[in-house]
A and B are shown apart, each in its own frame.
Chain A
Amino acid sequence: MLNVLSKRVLLIIVALAAVLFPLVFPNMYVLQLLTLVFIWSIAVYGYNIISGYVGYLSLAHAGFFAIGAYGLGLLTTKAGFSYWLSLLLAVLITSIAGALVGVIALRTKSHFFAIYTMCVGVIVYLLIDKWDSLTGGVRGLIGIPAPGNLGPITFDTLTSQYYLALFFLTFTIFLCYRIVHSLLGRTFIAIRNSEELAKTIGISIMKNQLLAFTLSALFAGLSGALYASFIRFIGPQISAITVTFEMLMYLLVGGIGTLAGPIVGTLIVISLTQSLQFLEEYRMLIFGPVVVLLVLYYPRGITGSINGYFQKKKQQRVKVANEEHDVKRKVGEAG
């Protein structure tokens, strides 16, 4: 394990780098890319709560992302609500949708849960695609406004949008940190380890799972709403099952069930796909095998493997200490 001090130093360096980046390196393309990375990461953090910590593989995540995006898009363009009220409502609507789906979906386990949630994702896609009069169908929704002014702060420039996304990402990570390191987080992990054992030590499985599922939908909704106001155009494709699998890939590459995993994975995979852009469709020929190898040899992802390395070192120290303890005891007994 990294010790607390060096971990804190590392965190401050990363945070400073993220804040200073647009000032030092004002490249529009890179800024655009990073903003998208931040926005997607928020959704992946949500994904991590239900699939990483509670251990239930949900495949409805792109559906919730789309509900957030369309929620914001429709509330601003069709209902004429202000941006910030719409954002709040979009997140709320997604959370409620998450809770409702969760009540039914969580009655199923493992692969049945995955299949059930995948169906939910497909239904969301179909609703968006076919409900022409509301969602604009395949034509999509255009003219979504950028975030409205907050007093003197405006969000017209790319840099300001970058900071907005960074703010929400930091907020998300902070919430996840607090949750993971609380009694509630321990409860989630206990359910992942063994549902049977968790039940017999008095944990209500359903209640906790439902909370985790709702939280994961909440972050997906927030991410989707931010995405809609950043890209300003959304189509039904954002709720496609492939989007869920992309998010799952970010999570797996970064490290499922770790706090840094979502941002690390999203950053690496998106930058990699972008830098392999010149290969066009053939980039998957390189990308596919890389992901397969990673999952085969580092199933806990990048962050998980780094943590594992430090843990192993610690275990070795403990082992040595144990042996010394045993030797001393034996010497003591002999004497």
Chain B
Amino acid sequence: MFFSTEGITKRFGGLAAVEDVSVSVEKGTITAIIGPNGAGKSTFFNLISGIHPLSSGKILFKDHDITKMPPQQIARLGIGRTFQTTNLFEQSTVLDNVLIGHRLRTKSGIWDAIFRTKREKEEEKRSYQKALEALEFVEMMHVVEHPVSLISQEEKKRLAFALALATDPEMVLLDEPAAGVNPDETDGLAYLMRKMADHGITVCLIEHKMPMIMSLADQIVVLNHGKKIAEGRPEEIRQNEAVIQAYLGGEAHAPVKQY
């Protein structure tokens, strides 16, 4: 198995934000995590990327047990991610933002910096190449030199993808990649995610835009109150009683936006 979680649980005090969730993901597929607001989706991502330590359970990635690894090591193993709120450096250019993404694959330290060694120059060049490749992948070559403060919301989303791609990931976690962009632009972002998967990068995303997920995802995992209530192909999820119940029935939940 490429990536799997085995019964992972995260408790904040008495509250279980994520409880006993087991998920497995095949290489090169697109997995969507859905669920009402507060279902524990972002926490689930934070657990995988090592931001929060687990309360119990196990996470496996490429036959490595990454349960207790710090975030930087998990990133080095090949899990990239983007955040719900785009975390970018507004003052510097698009290229400068992506450049740092390749830092984890470079070794230059303080001596390389002071003496501007061959290694520093080579790694700098490699970082530039990697950044340009990533920007080309997300089709942003026309704004490479623009300061981030001038590009559109959709371009910022693409830029966040590029930054994650510059780390050379084998799997990316995208937290609401299409939030706050219009339907046309959403299609463009969905196309990008499909393109990543076609290039062998496994995609996991949290999203609220159902039409996009239904056409995009190979597998859907539904969380509610921190528990996994369903998983399967989009057409299975559409029919699933528990899912319909969680979204529409019984208790008061914020309904998912339908377009």
Contact = CB atoms under 8 A, between A and B. Distances in A.
Interface of A: 175, 178-179, 182-187, 189-190, 193-194, 196-205, 211, 215, 311, 314-315, 318-319, 322, 325
Contacts of A202: 71-73, 75-76, 103-104, 167
A199 B71 contact: yes
Nearest to B168: A202
B2 interface: no
Contacts of A311: 91, 147
Interface in B89-107: 89, 91, 96, 99-101, 103-104, 106
Given A175-B114, A315-B147, A184 B167 contact: no
B89 A179 contact: no
A203 B87 contact: no
Interface in B41-61: 49-51
13 contacts: A178-B114, A182-B116, A184-B112, A184-B113, A186-B103, A189-B89, A199-B71, A200-B49, A200-B80, A201-B75, A201-B166, A201-B167, A318-B150
Contacts of A179: 110, 113-114
Given A178-B116, A182-B120, A183-B124, A200 B110 contact: no
Contacts of B83: 196-197, 200
A196 B104 CA distance: 15
Contact of A184 (B51, B110, B146): B110
Nearest to B76: A202
Contact of A193 (B89, B113, B149): B89
Nearest to B120: A182
Contacts of A318: 145-147, 150
A93 to B, nearest CB: 19
Interface of B: 49-51, 70-73, 75-76, 80-81, 83, 87-89, 91, 96, 99-101, 103-104, 106, 108-110, 112-114, 116, 120, 123-124, 127, 142, 145-147, 149-150, 163-164, 166-167
A97 B83 CA distance: 37
B61 to A, nearest CB: 14
A201 B103 contact: yes
Contacts of A201: 75, 80, 100-101, 103-104, 163-164, 166-167
B108 A196 contact: no
Contacts of A199: 50-51, 70-72, 75
Nearest to B145: A318
A202 B100 CA distance: 10
Contact of A315 (B76, B103, B124, B150): B150
Nearest to A191: B100
A194 B96 CA distance: 15
Contacts of B164: 201
Nearest to A308: B91
A311 B96 CA distance: 15
- Most chain B C-beta atoms within 10 Å of own C-beta, residue among A179, A189, A199: A199
A200 B81 contact: yes
B150 A187 contact: no
Contacts of A315: 147, 149-150
Contacts of A185: 113
A298 to B, nearest CB: 16
B75 A200 contact: yes
A44 to B, nearest CB: 20
Contacts of B113: 178-179, 182-185
Contacts of A203: 72, 100, 103-104
Given A182-B120, A202-B167, A318-B150, A187 B114 contact: no
